[in-house]
Structure 1
Amino acid sequence: MMKASICLFAVLVVALSKSDLLTGETKINAPVTSIDNDSSVPTHCDGTLIKEILLKQDMSQALLLTNFNVLQVMTDVQRLKKEIRHLNKENVDLRNQLTPLLNKSSDPREPIAFYAYFSNDFKSMPKGSTFVFDVVETNLGNGYNKATGIFTAPSSGLYAFTWTVQAAGKHVVQPINSNSQYGEINAALMQNGAVKGVIVADTETKYDMDTATAFVVLETKVGDQFQIAVSEWDGQGDIYSNNSNGRTSFSGFRVS
């Protein structure tokens, strides 16, 4: 009688080992109604059979737990992949922002100098306009931006700047038969939006020309921005920038 009870317990354990541990549902292929009438149930068993049944149960539970762990790992991997993509995008954005600064010289021993001018003659500009010198001959330190006309100091120090404007004295009629205007313009050196020096080129008679040049020395911090702008009134007429009449230009360099 004792052996039959042990065998019945063993059979129940095998049946329960087929439970779905993840859902909590128990699935038993067939109910045990009678030990004597079920030929698949041994009429006697020993310790070896019990150990084998318990081992199978442990292996089944271990397999289910392993599957659960694999699913958890896969979920974590997907989450980490998403975070990596986000970090990569942030890295690209930061690199794009820092590249212009990294390309600029920050070593005080490296020379910093630029020289740029207008490629052609041009019409005078309204107040507040920035001169965008589009031809760059020298740009040591990569501080000058020909797309904006702005020089950004790559490092702190003492800087010297000079700029030249050539006003044209040719007759300008706009519209035809209206009052004539000759070349006249003021040009200021701006440091972070503040005026640091001003020149005026003004022609008074037909076919006259007038050139103005300035030179200033300024204490500068890294990142300071410099540009030439029309500061006081709207300009008028034409401005020269050619090899025959002179170039309208902007240049600067670090002294120390």
Structure 2
Amino acid sequence: MMRAAVVSLLLLFCLLQDSAGHSTKPKPEDRSSRKRCCGQLQSLRALVYQQGTVLAELRRDFVKVKNENAANAVAISSLKTSLSANQQEVQKLKKENAAQTAELQNVQSRLTAVENDVKNLKNKDAEQASGLSALRNELENLRKECSGSQKVAFSAAIGPPAGRRGPFNSETNLVYKNVITNIGNAYNSGTGIFTAPVKGVYYFRFTGAGYDDKKWNIGVNLYKNGQHLIHLGENSIDGIAKHVSSGITLELAAGDQVHTRLPTNYVLWDDTYFRTSFSGFLLFPM
């Protein structure tokens, strides 16, 4: 529109010049001025054309920028929409995470409670098992006592090789290695000591022999827990073959020990006939 307005103004200017020339006779200086005007008109036309070209390019650039702005506006709107959706998704995930965290804490609390319950049950089971074991042992002991199933009996002798034992210059434990009977395994053939397995009343019998010896006395001492209870003996002048024996009833607690000893400067004899022996058995538990 600017280009058309400039052209219209130039044409009007030329027409005014022509009308002025027809009314008077042109002068030489007027012709020169007209030529200058025509030249200026042509320059103006070229300038108007050039400005039109620039204006067209500006219009194209404007349209291009406008389209780009519109595209950018659409992209921005899309990004805003996407951002809003993402923000909503993030908020949703936060809520879900908070709910899951709360649920996890709840599960952990219940798990801790269950573990504590299991621990308590195990402790109770252990206590009950211990109590049950004690009751079983007590019941077994009562059953043994009531039924007489606790059987204790033994007999043992010094035995071969045939010959004299002693004399010794100090009292010596007698070890009866030839075991005839040992029900309940309360007698120890390695030490010659009987150990009571249960509390009760026991009977013990012990014998001694001497043969073809008129020089030494024969004898046996009986001990309970190291306490001397009985001495059994016979003088050397009483004959070639000598025999002695004795018995005793003792109330023993579980763990009490009974054994015999050869007195100082005494002798005993034994052979395959088991002349020197030690025996005992449980009469009844208590």
Normalised by the length of structure 2, the TM-score is 0.46
Q: Which runs of 5+ in 1 are unaligned?
A: 1-40, 71-90, 92-97, 171-180
Counterpart amino acid of residue 143 in structure 1: A
Matched residue, 1:123? 165
RMSD of the alignment, in Å?
Answer: 5.0
The 1:221–1:236 alpha-carbon spacing in structure 2 relative to 1, beyond 3 Å, is closer
- 2:243 is aligned with 1:211: yes
Matched residue, 2:193? 150
Matches within 5 A, 1:167-178: 167-169=210-212
Equivalent position to 1:249, from 244, 261, 277 = 277
Deviation at 1:151, TM superposition (A): 1.6
The 1:182–1:235 alpha-carbon spacing in structure 2 relative to 1, beyond 3 Å, is same
Q: Which has the higher helix share?
A: 2
Matches within 5 A, 1:2-151: 42=83, 45-56=86-97, 106=145, 109-110=148-149, 111-121=151-161, 123-124=165-166, 125=168, 127-151=170-194
Paired residues, what number?
184
Counterpart amino acid of residue 130 in structure 1: N
Matches within 5 A, 1:169-208: 169=212, 182-204=215-237, 208=240
Deviation at 1:227, TM superposition (A): 0.8
Taking only the aligned residue pairs, the percentage that are identical comes to 22
Find the structure with the greater CA-based Rg. 2
Q: Distance in 1 between matches of 2:197 and 2:146?
A: 9
The 1:213–1:51 alpha-carbon spacing in structure 2 relative to 1, beyond 3 Å, is same
Matched residue, 1:14? none
Counterpart amino acid of residue 252 in structure 2: K
Residue 86 of structure 2 aligns to a residue whose secondary structure is coil
Q: Which runs of 5+ in 2 are unaligned?
A: 1-81, 112-129, 131-136
Deviation at 1:248, TM superposition (A): 1.2
Deviation at 1:188, TM superposition (A): 1.1
Q: Distance in 1 between matches of 2:90 and 2:180?
A: 94
Normalised by the length of structure 1, the TM-score is 0.50
